[in-house]
Chains A and B, each alone.
Chain A
Amino acid sequence: MNSKERIEWKKCNNCGFLQYPTHLRCLKCKSKDFILVETSSVCNLLSYTILNAPPAEFRNQKSLALGIVEFENGIRALGQISSKEDLEIGMKLKPIYKKICENLDGSEVYTHIFEPI
């Protein structure tokens, strides 16, 4: 698995706060000292929606299932869910890395989606 395929967050070495990796300074204490933390392989569905009016990038799909998930160590993520049926808050999912759409300029977008287990 290359680094893009892993879901990683940053943990602040000063105050311990866990956060999305684009933060250059800690959201809580402004420290720049972080370690990278990886997720476990299973996550919990916190909330979901079926979007029937997708943005133009998803022009080939009538609808998208989107969820917010939380892994055991507290890392959260947002992504599409592979199924639109029988979704339920609290259900278990696992991330898969794949191509999800082509931008309007034709470039391909790869990221995680979540699959019910």
Chain B
Amino acid sequence: MREVAIIGVGHTKFGRLNDKSLLDLLCEASLEAIEDSNTSNTDFDSVYVASMLAETLNHMTGVASALVDRIGLLPAAADHIKNGPASGGSAIKNAFYAIASGACELVLVSGAEKMTHITLPGGVTSAVATMTHHNAERIHGASLPSFAGLLTRSYMEKYNVPKEWITSIAVKNHRNGLNNPYAHFQKEITLKKAMESPIIADPLQLYDICPISDGAAAIVMCDANIAKKYCDSPILITGVGQATDTHIIYEREDVTVLNALRICSKQAYDMAKKTPNDIDVFEAHDAFTILEAIQSEDIGFFKKGEGAKAAHEGLTEIGGKIPINPSGGLKARGHPLGATGVAQVIELVWQLRGEAGKRQVADADTGITCNFGGFGNNIVSILVERM
């Protein structure tokens, strides 16, 4: 397999972006990534577009074909990748293998979602819930926030964890997001304020839950052998993993264990010949605070049941043992579904290039992501290193 490099990134502001369409957002991030990678006059072999709900929320199919046409990349191959909220991670994985195999040299990955225009109460939650098991979960009114509530209660009971420890993750992520100019929320919150916020899926509260966001993120990837031609500081993707788990969450022997993450992160670590000890920074999929806690365990940083405690003790702060979500995570950066997996990798690129400003993790050489498609049933991990 050939080595694969990231040579450019583009990231729109995340948040409520009223006057931009899904396609506008994809174009903006893509053109910025092309400019950043100095490939403005170069032909691309392939384009992978990630978005989960384009048909449902934007009444649009053929998104990838439309993008290449608008941004002048004809006749590049163009595919629309849909793997729920892990569409971004899946698109990067596909681009990785396209280059690693020798089939492609220069590839664009662009992920986006446009969600905030939906005014029907419960409309977005209902659209997202179409990825749950129809008979076993969805028809009962189960939604992603409700799964997170059920999981939080099981975790607190099983490991004897106070809610404050879990919610401290949101406080940390808001603090990090304050220094991320692209974040949906750039404001600090106190633990007290978070613990007083409205209950959404008991015991989870508003400030434990990612917002509904618009936004796009794009990266340019190429054969590492030619990366220096375009860019002084390419970042290598050295590990990629993806695994699945039961569609129905309560069919898992222990709902607090993310078996798909254990498997896909091991694939990524093994491919890169790394271990959790080698990782300097982790971008987690904290759609709900509880997810960051259990992901930090199953990806190998903390013992089972100790992830929330570690966050509470400050071990996951920038400057801590293993900084998690210096970007602000889904909680503060926001969660435009298809953009998230790409934005996670972009944050690692900025961290490894040393361009993360006030949220810079010192001496970051190696980073890993966890991108969730479904509630733990389809997970992608990407491991990146400085070249």
Which A residues are within 8 Å of any B CB, using their own CB?
19-20, 22, 27, 46-59, 64, 66-68, 76-80, 89, 100-101, 109, 111
Which stretch (B67-75, B135-143, B170-178) binds chain A? Answer: B135-143
| CB contact between B122 and one of A46, A58, A109 (< 8 Å): that residue | A58
Contact B140 A66 (CB under 8 A): yes
**B179-214 interface bits toward A, Cβ cutoff 8 Å, 1 = contact, 0 = none:** 000000000000000000011111110000000000
Nearest residue, chain A, Cβ from B136: A20
Which stretch (B36-44, B125-133, B264-272) binds chain A? Answer: B125-133
Contact B140 A111 (CB under 8 A): yes
Which residues of B sit under 8 angstroms from A58, Cβ to Cβ?
122, 141
Which residues of A sit under 8 angstroms from B150, Cβ to Cβ?
47-49, 66-68
- Please, could you name 6 A-B residue pairs with CB atoms under 8 Å apart, sorted by A? A22-B135, A51-B200, A53-B122, A55-B143, A78-B137, A100-B141
Which residues of B sit under 8 angstroms from A51, Cβ to Cβ?
141, 143, 145-146, 149, 200-202
Assign chain B's interface to a size class: 35 or more
Contact A48 B136 (CB under 8 A): no
4 shortest interchain CB distances as A-B pairs: A49-B149, A55-B126, A56-B122, A50-B202
Contact B246 A27 (CB under 8 A): yes
CB distance from B242 to the nearest CB of A (A): 19
CB distance from B378 to the nearest CB of A (A): 16
Q: Knowing A20-B251, A68-B250 are in contact, say whether A55-B125 is a contact too (CB < 8 A).
A: yes
CB distance from B197 to the nearest CB of A (A): 12
**B267-300 interface bits toward A, Cβ cutoff 8 Å, 1 = contact, 0 = none:** 0000000000000000000000000000000000
Contact B198 A27 (CB under 8 A): no
Contact B201 A53 (CB under 8 A): yes
Which residues of A sit under 8 angstroms from B154, Cβ to Cβ?
46-47
Which residues of B sit under 8 angstroms from A19, Cβ to Cβ?
251
B82: interface (CB < 8 Å)? no
Contact B136 A22 (CB under 8 A): yes
Contact B201 A78 (CB under 8 A): no
Contact A101 B201 (CB under 8 A): no
B248: interface (CB < 8 Å)? yes
Contact B139 A111 (CB under 8 A): yes
CB distance from B206 to the nearest CB of A (A): 9
Contact A53 B246 (CB under 8 A): no
Nearest residue, chain B, Cβ from A109: B139
